[in-house]
């Protein structure tokens, strides 16, 4: 099984990539079931222990970046934590390999890896943006469709947010309107994201710096998506007592961007994003939170593999 070989052999980047490319349907199912068992013990809002913590933004099928991040965990100290902010799939050439690698990390190090849900971990999104097509191409139409349903069953069980020991709020999208405390997020039913406004906004909302201060306004992504301004963040910070917010969801050329006096940090960890036939190049970053609570935006070198 792939988990046994991963633990016993400590494979190189090239060997691990080969394992992922040759993964069997049976191995995928084992990974999904093991991670579902681990997720059953977690809350919708994960409370992280005091530890050196690395926060990873959108991966979108960039296996070279994902392999480098995996190596960081494998070679890090036993207490080091990694938090993935979601969007493992869609828009990238190796999205199946990336989600399987992150599942492998979670199955192997369940107490050190936190997987949050992104807006692409929704069937209505990843059924139309490449993930289902990639599965059917790799495993065949019938088996690919079965696996697509199993992955999305797992996605429905992913936590929606996390909070560090020093009050840094981690989420894929942004803050939702009308929340009076973190207990409301902790009590959210994960399985009802499309029907639950607060859950939806956690995955979809975006911060915006504006000349004229505002709270919330309709977002350009369509549907019920919103943008939140500094006034909204001020209120959310006061009501929840968070210190900062780290989120993903948006790509920036430099791989990161600060908002609202560096109280909100957006991070992106994929080297490129495909929008139809167009490819946007990114300088990917991760965020390190050290034991003193300092935030450091770090560049990293993607694995040198032939993809």
State pLDDT tens for residues 253-296. Answer: 999 999 999 999 999 999 977 666 667 788 899 999 999 999 99
The predicted model scores a pTM of 0.95
> At residue 54, does pLDDT exceed 90?
yes
- Angle ∠(206,209,213) on CA atoms, nearest 5: 110
Tell me the C-alpha distance between 79 and 185, whole Å.
26
Written as six digits, the tokens of 211 are 């000349």
Q: Is the CATH code 3.40.50.720 the one for domain 2-299?
A: no
The Cα 50–Cα 62 span in angstroms is 29
Residue 58 has pLDDT above 80, yes or no: yes
The better pLDDT of the pair 192, 89 is held by 89
Q: How confident is the model at residue 50 (pLDDT cuts 50, 70, 90)?
A: very high
**Which pLDDT belongs to residue 8?**
74
In the predicted model, is pLDDT for residue 306 greater than 90? no
The single residue listed with the structure tokens 């933004």 is: 57
Is the pLDDT assigned to residue 136 strictly greater than 90?
yes
pLDDT at 52: 96
Residues 6+ apart with CB under 8 A from 268: 57, 58, 248, 250, 251, 252, 255, 256, 282, 284, 285
**Which residues share a beta bridge with 296?**
288
Give the full edge-to-edge strand order of the sheet including 81-84.
113-115, 81-84, 53-56, 285-289, 295-299
**pLDDT over 90, % of the chain:** 79
**pLDDT tier, 3 (very low <50, low <70, confident <90, very high otherwise):** confident
Report the C-alpha gap between 173 and 170 in whole angstroms: 9
Q: What is the mean pLDDT of residues 23-30?
A: 96
- Give the separation between CA 157 and CA 244, rounded to whole angstroms: 25
Q: Which one, of 207, 199, 237, 29, lies nearest residue 118 by Cα?
A: 199
120 is catalytic: yes
Could you give the CA distance from residue 301 to residue 259 in angstroms, rounded to a whole number? 26
Q: Report phi then psi at 76, rounded to 5.
A: -80, 170
Sheet-wide strand order for 264-267: 45-47, 161-163, 168-171, 244-247, 264-267, 256-259
pLDDT at 193 over 80: no
At residue 232, the pLDDT reads: 97
β-strand pairing of 244-247 with 264-267: parallel
| Buried/exposed code over 169-183 (b: 16+ C-beta within 10 A; e: otherwise) | bbbbbbbbeebeebe
Is residue 156 pLDDT above 90, yes or no? yes
Question: Is residue 236 a contact partner of residue 54, using CB atoms and an 8 Å limit?
Answer: no
Question: Rounded to an integer, what distance in angstroms lies between the CA atom of residue 288 and that of residue 43?
Answer: 23
Catalytic pick among 94, 120, 172, 249? 120
* Length of the chain in terms of residues written: 307
Closest CA to 215 of 172, 170, 178, 160: 178
Return mean pLDDT, the chain: 92
């Amino acid at each position: 099984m792939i988990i046994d070989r991963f633990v016993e052999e400590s494979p190189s980047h090239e060997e691990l990539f080969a394992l992922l490319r040759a993964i069997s349907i049976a191995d995928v199912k084992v990974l999904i079931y093991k991670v579902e068992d681990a997720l059953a013990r977690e809350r919708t809002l994960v409370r992280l222990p005091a530890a050196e913590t690395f926060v990873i933004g959108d991966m979108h099928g960039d296996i070279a970046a994902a392999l480098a991040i995996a190596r960081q965990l494998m070679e890090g100290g036993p207490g080091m934590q990694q938090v993935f902010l979601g969007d493992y799939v869609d828009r990238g050439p190796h999205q199946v390999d990336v989600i399987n690698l992150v599942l492998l990390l979670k199955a192997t190090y369940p107490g050190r890896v936190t997987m949050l849900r992104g807006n692409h971990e929704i069937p209505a999104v990843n059924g139309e943006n490449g993930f289902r097509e990639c599965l059917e191409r790799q495993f065949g139409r019938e088996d690919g469709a079965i696996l697509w349903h199993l992955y999305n069953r797992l996605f429905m069980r992913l936590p929606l947010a996390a909070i560090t020991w020093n009050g840094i709020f981690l989420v894929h999208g942004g803050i939702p309107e009308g929340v009076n405390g973190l207990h409301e997020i902790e009590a959210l039913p994960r399985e009802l994201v499309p029907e639950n406004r607060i859950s939806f906004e956690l995955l979809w909302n975006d911060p915006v710096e504006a000349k004229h201060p505002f709270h919330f306004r309709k977002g350009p992504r369509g549907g019920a998506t919103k943008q939140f301004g500094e006034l909204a963040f001020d209120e959310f910070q006061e009501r929840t007592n968070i210190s900062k917010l780290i989120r993903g969801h948006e790509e920036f050329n430099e791989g990161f961007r600060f908002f609202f006096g560096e109280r909100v940090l957006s991070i992106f960890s994929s080297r490129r994003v495909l929008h139809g036939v167009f490819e946007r190049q990114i300088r990917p970053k991760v965020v390190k939170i050290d034991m003193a609570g300092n935030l450091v935006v770090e560049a990293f070198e993607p694995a040198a593999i032939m993809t």
